Amino acid sequence: MITLLCFALIALTAAQPTPPIIDVEQPLQLAFDGAPLDLPFQPTDSAPLTIAARALSGDLDPTLEILDAANRRIAFNDDHGTARADLAPSDALLHNLQFSADAPVMVRVNTFSGTGSGSIEVSITPTAALTPVPIPADALIVSGSVAPNAIFRYALIGEAAAALTISARATDGRFDPILTLLDTAGSVIAANDDHRSADPTLARRDAQIVLATMPDAGCCIIEVAGFVGMGGAFELVIARTPVGARPG
């Protein structure tokens, strides 16, 4: 009886499929059948990365979720909302993620409804060099994450003296962001840790800079870091400050 049980356990173990391992610039084409697909990923450094999930067949609405070793969510995206021509509106994209080199993560691929069948391509690519983005006419929302003791950077370009409201709000329930706005020479224009505004979209420890003014050069750098070097996931919200707005 013991021998038969051992053989049964060995057979069961052998039958368990080994999850595919994803790596940078090695896209995977996966068959989705209604169950989440977990892809182990081992970062080799803290260079920013972009992860995409693109439906290749079937009526699929992919989602991407990044989990740490404790199964805590680092980042999530459903519809990417960017101008990338290689992605359908319902494809998923996580841009400018930073990881610790010694901390493996899990890339979880699912669909918005958790159902459906078809093929999904998942890719991890290095994030392109920092390129200034024009100041939006409406609010711009950028999803990002930062590894412990790292800094997330985002560049803006626009007319000098334009007034902006910039917010960094945690999306993982734990992150305490610090927000800094710099000119291209590295001088600090404005900074904030815990905002004191009445903005209902922000938690107590989120950060916000109101009435930030673009420098004469018309280009600035936004930095997001964690309080005392903590890492986490966040949304960066950039909008023109309404006329008559005041800090606080």
Start-to-end CA distance of the chain, whole Å, equals 73
In contact, 87 and 52? CB cutoff 8 Å: yes
Q: What share of the chain is helix, strand, coil (3-state, %, to 5)?
A: 5, 45, 50
Please tell me the distance from the alpha carbon of residue 145 to that of residue 151, in angstroms, as a whole number. 9
Pairing of strands 62-67, 105-111: antiparallel
pLDDT value of position 14: 46
28 phi, psi to nearest 5 deg:
-115, 140
pLDDT value of position 144: 85
In contact, 103 and 142? CB cutoff 8 Å: no
Query: How many CB atoms are closer than 10 A to CB 9?
Result: 10
pLDDT value of position 37: 96
Q: How many residues does the chain have?
A: 248
pLDDT value of position 71: 93
b/e per residue 79-116 (b: at least 16 CB within 10 A): bbeeeeeebeebbbbbbbbbbbeeeebbbbbbbeeeeb
One pLDDT digit (tens) per residue for the chain, 248 residues = 555 444 444 444 444 567 788 999 999 999 999 999 999 999 988 788 889 999 998 789 999 999 999 998 888 888 876 657 788 989 998 877 888 888 899 999 999 999 999 999 999 998 777 778 888 787 888 888 887 777 888 888 888 778 889 999 998 888 999 999 988 777 888 999 989 888 899 999 999 998 888 887 788 889 998 998 888 889 999 988 765 554 44
H or E stretch including 14? helix 2-15
Which fold is adopted by the domain 133-240? Answer: Jelly Rolls (2.60.120)
b/e per residue 39-62 (b: at least 16 CB within 10 A): bebebeebebbbbbbbbeeeebbb
**Same topology for domains 24-126 and 133-240, yes or no?**
yes
Q: Which CATH class is domain 24-126?
A: mainly beta
Domain coordinates of the chain in residue numbers?
A: 24-126, 133-240
| Dihedral angle sign, alpha carbons of residues 78, 79, 83, 88 | positive
